[in-house]
Structure 1
Amino acid sequence: MTSDVKKHFWSESRIRKTRLATGLVVFVFLSMHMANHAAGLLSVAAADHVRRWLLMFWRTLPGTVVLYGSLLAHMGLSLRSVYIRRSFTMPKSEAMQIILGLVVPLLIIDHIVSTRVASSLFHLRDNYESVVSAMWITSPFDGWRQSIAIVILWIHGCIGIHFWLRYRPWYEASRAGFLAIAIVLPVLSLLGFVVMGRALSGVDFWLNALPGEYNDPTGLTDEEAAVIKSIRWSLYGAFFLSLGAVLILRIIRRLKERAHLISVRYANGQTVRIPKGFTLLEASRLAGLSHYAVCGGKGQCSTCRVQVMDGWMQLPPADSLEQGTLDRIKAAPGVRLACQLRPTANLTVMPLMVAMPQSATVDSSLEVVPGRERDIAVLFCDLRHFTMLTENRLPFDIVFLLNRYFAVVGHAVEEAGGRLDKFIGDGAMALFGIGGTPEEACRQALKAASSIIAGMQELNRQLSNELTSPLRIAIGIHTGPAVVGTLGYGGVRSLTAIGDTVNVASRLESVAKEFETQLVVSEPVAVLAGLDVPDAAGRNVAIRGRSSLLKVFLLDEKLRQTLGLSEPAPAPGS
């Protein structure tokens, strides 16, 4: 019982969250420190004044414990991640983050000891005047090294922040702002350091000093300097010993594992021998096989899933993280996540999402967007009885009529802020809220539907002499989570959405036809859009694949006018 609790407490999910939290603490301190450097663009005194405010927390006992505790914990967990990783075959972004993380301690140990440790032990004045003069005048090499350390630490932190936020629905729309901050802040910080260094190099700065005042020179005695030197080398030694211990333990583990290799056979006939403890994703990378893992192997998506064809009864059970993802996608028996499964016996697998060669799938003119789950609104519209209207028409006449109809739909969707997904026969599908909130998405979809209905009224007026009966539209709108990404092959690819939300929206368009109305929306759409729809307009309809009924609202012309959704038809000639 105790071991189960301990295992749950030290689960990979908790360890990953701890590593993220400690990294964020260090990143916040670094951001404040760089902003403090940027104040040096004004003057050395301005930077030191800002410094006093920033250190009001970080130089207290709680602040010291939080900062340096987070730094040590983050470094320890980073070394742990190096140890548990079974293969160093990985994407370049992951390799870059690991390499930068290992370089950072070598660059910041000297600075920490020379400032924080020396100040605490010997009350050394570590203001901007003393630190910048030491790095700019006394030892320019230290200045270069510390500048490089800031840039490397900043890049390492930004990569981690990107990996953490890249699947958040709002992140895509905010990336430009984050990128601007990521570029501007280190530039201003380094410029502030240069300006302060040049100011301290001038004779006027020192002539204006008063004994015992701001830039009263202080230093360490020979004995104190020796103590600081021994602390510095002790920390360097501790880091190299820790890194060496990790590498030695990896070698020992590898030697032991050679006696307990298992075979992973792929559906294409390729077999790879791996030690017990490797994940299937690591096995694929070790074999040089293309294997999707959009989330980077963190169990937050199902793109790496495989069907275990042989040996699945001998697999270890899925942990809570993997099982939660499998339950979410309603995985069939024998389906596992390659990034989480660590087989203990021989097995045969087949990746369910096969990666094709880059040259065959990527068109340089089209941005590739990996599948990401977003809360969006989906609109389906279709012409009713269109086949009957075109029975006696020439093919080119039908093309003309459809293009006029498509123009109405496309213009309405784009004006409302949506994205026209595709045309299917005489039907159309549009997406709303890819880069916004669900509430905004529902309002945009309703606006587009009103514009489509108004546009069809004007189109009927213009073609009244050509049509035996008016064109009638049926529209369905639903909202919910859907996977949005680039799908297709070669040059025939587009950004689209798949999932239950899309299927339901398509079904509501059919419901509109069944109830002889132009617009049907689901209850979630009405709620998020803030519509006060009377219960009399509601219906409970069956949705294929769902056990429960879905409440929808039939919005006829009169009700749309009451709700403020009806738009006047465009003026003639507009």
Structure 2
Amino acid sequence: MTIISANRRKRMHLVSGAILGTFVLAHFFNHSLGLISVEAMETARKGFNLIWHSLPGTVLLYGALLLHFAMALESIYRRQTLRMPAREALKIVFGLSLPFLLIGHVTAARVEPLLTGVDADYPDMLRMLWSNSVNATRQSLALLLVWGHGCLGAWFWMRGRAWFPRYEILLYTVAILVPIFALLGFVSGARSIEDGYAEHGGYGDRSYSKPPFDLTLLEDIRLGLYFGFGGLIAGTFLLRAMPKGGRIRVRYPDGRVATVNLGFSVLEASRAAGIAHVSVCGGRGRCSTCRVRIIQGLEDQPPPEDAELATLTRIGAPDNVRLACQFRPVHNVTVVPILDSDSLGIKKQIGREGGEGRERRIAVLFCDLRGFTSIAEHKLPFDTVFLLNRYFEMVGEAVEDSGGVIDKFIGDGALAIFGLKSTYTEACRQSLAAAVRISKGLETLNQTFRGELDEPLRIAMGLHAGPAIIGEIGYGQATSLTAVGDTINTASRLEGLAKEHDVQLAVSAELVNRAGLVIEGHERLDIGLRGRQATLETWIVGDAAGISEALQPAPSNA
């Protein structure tokens, strides 16, 4: 029985890690002040201690430390297999090694002052560390491992965020520079202490001497912490090795069987047995590609939790379909993966870095020529190709000049995406600007081909904005960057709505509002879309070029 849900456990792990990361970042900044002087380090330390050495700060810091460590051990215990990407393995190794590197420093900086009544300041700590090369090396290594563990944890959390690509270079730069400055500050401060001690026998007027103190108790505490943390880690791996309530068999349609401990998900069973199993989102329940049809053993299985149920409901899955990454059978089952990696040709892509795509908030434009089939029937094929190429050229230039990219041309239609390299608000404005350019470009084409067309070219456009998955889709040389999701489907349906109302543009109010525009004077409808319970507020615009004034920046009062 799960006492704490998986989402809550992840949130607890994330929050405790964020608290520890804040402490470490402030601590490293304090170290870097050694590039200025030891006095600057000591002044900052006193302000630092006002927060973290207070009762609330101490409870928050050490509570987060113990919670984070406990969550790490709990996640290791829950893992059904230790097969994992190298980055994830490094994060775990760094995290488990940190207590043994930091116990000496923590006992000297926090426990010893409590026992002696003498606060451990920067001159004392720097002298103690610098006088012993082993201590200095161990502390420097601990500094790097702490930072590495934190950066890897932050990367796992941030990598799928829509804003991450925009700040990726900045974040990597900070990740490299912070420990460099901290180490340089540590070395600079320690050397100045060494010089001052050699010359004066002390730091300023302060002697390095400490009151008499029996080190046996401190050493016992240090050893107790070593054995305590070591015992917890060893106990976790020992519990992992013990049977967890029996074994189950997961059978596959080709006759293969994965025999695993109770508690494995079907996806984990597949991976443990070396059976290729599609999982585009990496087993996080954010897609349905890993879904399986259960043909035997469905009875008395645990029902879907909220996250899995939401995904299954969204795709209209029947009762015998489950997400392999979330479904943890309690007895033997026979499953059929609905998406076969062999037939899809993506076996080699499983586990590929970045192959799962990335979620972003984008703006999408669908446009389509109206009645072009009847026009093409009365033209020679070469003439039709020439006309289409001129039309595609106009649409492509309009999209690219506005800041978007053409995803694909479909027949006499086109799909354009905005927001791959801009903010969400900018993407919405860019898509509207592209619609205006396409409308004006179409008018120019009609004037150019007036003598060759029995009737002018007409266009219908749909615009919508929201989240979508951006990724490489296709096979071999035909692979290309594209977007999938409800946002794309909605934009396509809005393009159809524009045709129904015999207008050039149907744009969601959501996109217009996000762009910060007002396009009054046009019809506004609340329409129902298949798959959405709520209606979608939509602007119906007869001539898209007419909204160009709304896109102009407000005149300055200067």
Matches within 5 A, 1:161-200: 161-200=154-193
Task: Choose which of 37, 40, 45 in structure 2 pairs with 1:51.
Answer: 45
* Structure 2 counterpart of 1:459: 445
Question: How big is the shift at 1:122?
Answer: 1.1
* Structure 1 counterpart of 2:209: 218
Unaligned 5+ runs, structure 1: 568-574
- Partner of 2:327: helix, strand, or coil? coil
Q: Is 1:234 aligned to 2:220, yes or no? A: no
Question: How big is the shift at 1:139?
Answer: 0.6
Question: How big is the shift at 1:57?
Answer: 0.5
Closer, same or farther in 2 for the Cα pair 1:243/1:57, shift >3 Å? same
Counterpart Cα distance in 1 of 2:248 and 2:43:
63
**Is the Cα–Cα contact under 8 Å of residues 523 and 551 in structure 1 kept in the other structure?**
yes
TM-score, structure 2 as length reference: 0.90
- Partner of 2:299: helix, strand, or coil? helix
- 1:449-483 Cα offsets, whole Å, 9 max, x none, are 00111222223334445444433222111223333
Task: Choose which of 149, 153, 173 in structure 2 pairs with 1:160.
Answer: 153
Question: How big is the shift at 1:128?
Answer: 2.0
Letter of the 2:8 partner, please give it: R
- 1:326-385 Cα offsets, whole Å, 9 max, x none, are 3344433222222332211111112334446778559x9xx9552344433211111222
**Is the Cα–Cα contact under 8 Å of residues 13 and 321 in structure 1 kept in the other structure?**
no
Q: Is 1:400 aligned to 2:390, yes or no? A: no
Counterpart Cα distance in 2 of 1:465 and 1:535:
34
Counterpart Cα distance in 2 of 1:447 and 1:304:
39
- Partner of 2:325: helix, strand, or coil? coil
* Structure 2 counterpart of 1:378: 364
Matches within 5 A, 1:105-120: 105-120=99-114
Question: How big is the shift at 1:232?
Answer: 0.8
- Partner of 2:328: helix, strand, or coil? coil
Counterpart Cα distance in 1 of 2:410 and 2:268:
41
* Structure 1 counterpart of 2:396: 410
Matches within 5 A, 1:442-457: 442-457=428-443
**Is the Cα–Cα contact under 8 Å of residues 250 and 333 in structure 2 kept in the other structure?**
yes
TM-score, structure 1 as length reference: 0.87
**Is the Cα–Cα contact under 8 Å of residues 170 and 436 in structure 1 kept in the other structure?**
no
Q: Is 1:265 aligned to 2:248, yes or no? A: no
Unaligned 5+ runs, structure 2: 554-558
Q: Aligned pairs, how many?
A: 550
Question: How big is the shift at 1:93?
Answer: 2.5
- 1:29-60 Cα offsets, whole Å, 9 max, x none, are 11111111111111222122222211110011
Counterpart Cα distance in 2 of 1:359 and 1:548:
38
**Is the Cα–Cα contact under 8 Å of residues 280 and 355 in structure 2 kept in the other structure?**
no
Question: How big is the shift at 1:428?
Answer: 0.3
Counterpart Cα distance in 2 of 1:566 and 1:133:
64
Query: RMSD value over aligned CA atoms?
Result: 2.9
Counterpart Cα distance in 2 of 1:374 and 1:211:
55
**Is the Cα–Cα contact under 8 Å of residues 368 and 486 in structure 1 kept in the other structure?**
no
Counterpart Cα distance in 2 of 1:91 and 1:117:
38
Counterpart Cα distance in 2 of 1:432 and 1:293:
27
Question: How big is the shift at 1:186?
Answer: 1.0
**Is the Cα–Cα contact under 8 Å of residues 487 and 496 in structure 1 kept in the other structure?**
yes
Task: Choose which of 306, 326, 350 in structure 2 pairs with 1:340.
Answer: 326
- 1:528-551 Cα offsets, whole Å, 9 max, x none, are 333434476124555455577544
Letter of the 1:95 partner, please give it: A
- 1:268-326 Cα offsets, whole Å, 9 max, x none, are 33111112222222211210123344555444444433222221223112233433443
- Partner of 2:436: helix, strand, or coil? helix
Letter of the 1:250 partner, please give it: R
Counterpart Cα distance in 2 of 1:39 and 1:349:
60
Counterpart Cα distance in 1 of 2:233 and 2:143:
22
Return 493-502 or 35-44, whichever deviates more: 493-502
**Is the Cα–Cα contact under 8 Å of residues 436 and 547 in structure 2 kept in the other structure?**
no
Counterpart Cα distance in 2 of 1:566 and 1:141:
66
- 1:176-201 Cα offsets, whole Å, 9 max, x none, are 22211111111111121222233233
Counterpart Cα distance in 2 of 1:295 and 1:129:
50
Closer, same or farther in 2 for the Cα pair 1:79/1:546, shift >3 Å? closer
Question: How big is the shift at 1:434?
Answer: 4.0
**Is the Cα–Cα contact under 8 Å of residues 170 and 435 in structure 1 kept in the other structure?**
no
Counterpart Cα distance in 1 of 2:264 and 2:547:
63
- 1:400-458 Cα offsets, whole Å, 9 max, x none, are 32222222211221222222110011110011234555433322211110011122222
